[in-house]
Chains A and B, each alone.
Chain A
Amino acid sequence: MNDALPMWTQIAMGALALIALFYFGPKAGQAVKQSPKGSASDWMGLLLPIGAVVLFVILLIALARG
């Protein structure tokens, strides 16, 4: 356990994780079933903007490092 965190924070985070798991877990399953399936070209269309974001983040880190 992370000793730097107070006990109440650890308990609250654990509770938050359980709520998220049991409240949103089943909803996530439903969302996957109801969501339209993307074709190969749909996923390829996603690669361009996401690839640009990855390159941009690398550029930001390089700029911040100086």
Chain B
Amino acid sequence: MYEDRVVQGRAGAGVLSTNKVIRNTYMLLSLTLLFSAVTAGIAMAANVGHGAGMICTFASLGLLWFVLPRFANQAAGIGIVFGVTGLLGFGLGPIISTYLQVFSNGAELVMTALGGTGVIFLGLSAYALTTKKDFSFLGGFLFVGILVAFLGGIAGLLFAMPMLNLVVSGMFVLLMSGMILFQTSQIIHGGETNYVMATISLYIALYNLFLSLLQLLAAFAGQR
């Protein structure tokens, strides 16, 4: 009987810890999304060019790949997350401005992509949280898939291949959906206990999902 209580106590502590990670992750994710929206708005209002936007995006990748992993377990990690998301948001400003200028229904495309991203994120998160399925088997597949899609995206831009860009956008929608399921499942099952890393993974998934949806919508429903 005593052992039962000990086991239940440990299980209860595990659930509490998981709930704390989920709460902190969603709180930080909300704040970073708001911060990105502000920096994107500033970039749009200041009419920042694509060059500056691209430099911000490259800088954010440098922070994300090489700096954040070293500080993920320290308080400074939160500041770096805001640095990464702020820079990515700033880089997004000129891209959104271009869609608004090039397409007569640009505002509708941007809002549809934004709403679609929100619905997909909420739906997939709810699915992972309620079914409690373990999607840890997706880890290796997602890593390789994202690397291939990332390289494909760069090749599509460098060699001006619009069809390849569309295929990559489609791939990213599926891969980022898988990423949301994987990351949420990792938090639930205790595979991810660091809310800073969980937040940045979900943020990157949302960022790529939004951009990919926007590109698909513009390609199939954009009116010039």
Contact = CB atoms under 8 A, between A and B. Distances in A.
A9 B51 contact: yes
B116 A16 contact: no
Contact of B138 (A3, A38, A53): A38
Given A53-B173, A64-B217, A14 B158 contact: yes
Contact of B181 (A20, A28, A46): A46
Contacts of B220: 61, 64-65
A11 B157 CA distance: 12
Nearest to A53: B177
Given A57-B173, A60-B217, A45 B123 contact: no
Interface in A3-21: 3-6, 9-10, 12-14, 16-17, 19-21
B135 A24 contact: no
B33 interface: no
B119 interface: yes
Interface in B112-136: 112, 116, 119-120, 123-124, 127, 131, 133-136
A35 B159 contact: no
Contacts of B141: 32, 35
Contacts of B120: 53, 56
Nearest to A61: B220
B154 A13 contact: yes
Contact of A13 (B116, B124, B157, B216): B157
A19 B151 CA distance: 10
Contact of A49 (B147, B157, B160, B177): B177
B58 interface: yes
A21 B51 contact: no
Contacts of B124: 49, 53
B14 interface: no
Nearest to A38: B137
A53 B131 CA distance: 17
Interface of A: 1-6, 9-10, 12-14, 16-17, 19-21, 23-25, 27-28, 31-38, 42-43, 45-46, 49-50, 52-54, 56-57, 60-61, 63-66
Interface of B: 51, 54, 58, 61, 65, 105, 108-109, 112, 116, 119-120, 123-124, 127, 131, 133-141, 143-144, 147, 150-151, 154-155, 157-160, 173-174, 177-178, 181, 213, 216-217, 220-221
Given A5-B157, A65-B221, 19 more contacts: A1-B158, A1-B160, A2-B160, A17-B154, A24-B147, A27-B143, A32-B143, A33-B140, A35-B136, A35-B138, A35-B139, A36-B139, A42-B135, A50-B174, A50-B177, A52-B123, A53-B177, A57-B116, A57-B213
